[in-house]
Chains A and B, each alone.
Chain A
Amino acid sequence: MRRCYEQVTVGEALEPLVKGPLTSAHLMRWSAAMENWHKIHYDREFAVEHDKLPDLLVNGTLKQQFVMQLLRQWAGNDGWVWKVSFQFRAMNVVDETLRVWGRVTGRREAGGFGLVDLELGIVNGGDKESTPGAAVIALPYETGGPVPYPFVPPPGA
């Protein structure tokens, strides 16, 4: 789907992306794909007894991928996810189901394309926010071509 700047309204919510429940197998698979051997993601005894954590932790890097996936899907292949920031404010632990959300907070024209500001985050089944963040996405105009690739930020943006 081609999403254009003119179609976007401030306050609009993105269709959430749901991931989980994230079992220890999911966490191990991600750790292995990353070759990240930090034990807090797969060794429960080490996580709880040694590091005094509540349980195995969902990797922050995995949550980053979920956010990028949501944003890329929303932007479409003619748009571009330019800036993303995440804060890991709270832990997510094994067996949680995560809902990745986003909402448009602003929009502005930037020369040959439009820029859309978003707030975003990840909540668990108890609606607790763990990963607040923000993003800037470039979208094409209805009458224009795709956002230039490789992406060149507009001056002063």
Chain B
Amino acid sequence: MSLLTSEVEKLIGAESGVEVACDAVERGAVRCYVQAYMDEDPIFHSEETARGLRWGASVAPPLFPMNMFRRPFGTPDPFAERAADPDFDGIVGSTAPGLPPLPLPKGIGLLNAGTEVEVFRYARHGESVTAKSRYHSITEKLSSKGPMLLVVIETEYRSGGGDLLLRVRKTQIRR
């Protein structure tokens, strides 16, 4: 059974709108993030250190904007909707902000195959962040475990003022 149906193919090239992260870069969120990957560089929390360097103010780690697109206040709880589903894998919403999820059969999993990133500037504490994504390509391959899709998603992350922060191309395996 092919996973590359006409409904999936129609989404190649599909673009999101300009999505705005529900929260600006928060000092507390940066703290949790850097503690979780164990990197306590003072540029992430010390205004004095950051001001003395090129950053001018405390900044978030380079890849932080990629993880700012969370479930906003006032939206339905996806766990409640799928609590009785034994195949619910915990993935909620789209895997890229604003892109429609791929219409795939129930039980199809997701693995990250790789990422290419270009970094232009760090997001500062207090700054809002936007993202615009598109399905760059979707191709099918046959693996030993059956058909799988290679899904390439491109996203540009910008500051609220329009400065380019990151350009990211993610490859996902769906099987």
Chain A interface, DSSP helix/strand/loop, else mixed? mixed
Q: Is A81 an interface residue (CB 8 A)?
A: yes
Nearest residue (CB) in A for B109 is A51
Q: Pick the contact of B36: A30, A38, A64, A88 (CB < 8 A).
A: A30
Nearest residue (CB) in A for B69 is A35
Interface size on A, residues (CB 8 A): 44
Interface size on B, residues (CB 8 A): 42
Q: Could you tell me the distance between the alpha carbons of A43 and B43 in the complex, rounded to whole angstroms?
A: 34
Taking CB atoms, residues of chain A closer than 8 Å to B79 are 37
Q: Of B98-106, B110-118, B147-155, which stretch is located at the interface?
A: B110-118
Q: Pick the contact of B117: A34, A69, A78, A84 (CB < 8 A).
A: A84
Q: Of A7-15, A104-112, A121-129, A146-154, which stretch is located at the interface?
A: A146-154
Q: Which A32-85 residues have a C-beta within 8 angstroms of B?
A: 32-40, 43, 46, 50-51, 60-62, 64-66, 68-69, 72, 77-78, 80-85
Binding site for A on B (CB under 8 A): 29, 32-33, 35-39, 41, 43, 53-55, 61-63, 66-67, 70-71, 79, 86-87, 89-92, 109-121, 163-164
- Nearest 7 CB-CB pairs, A to B? A150-B121, A60-B112, A65-B37, A33-B36, A37-B90, A87-B114, A39-B90
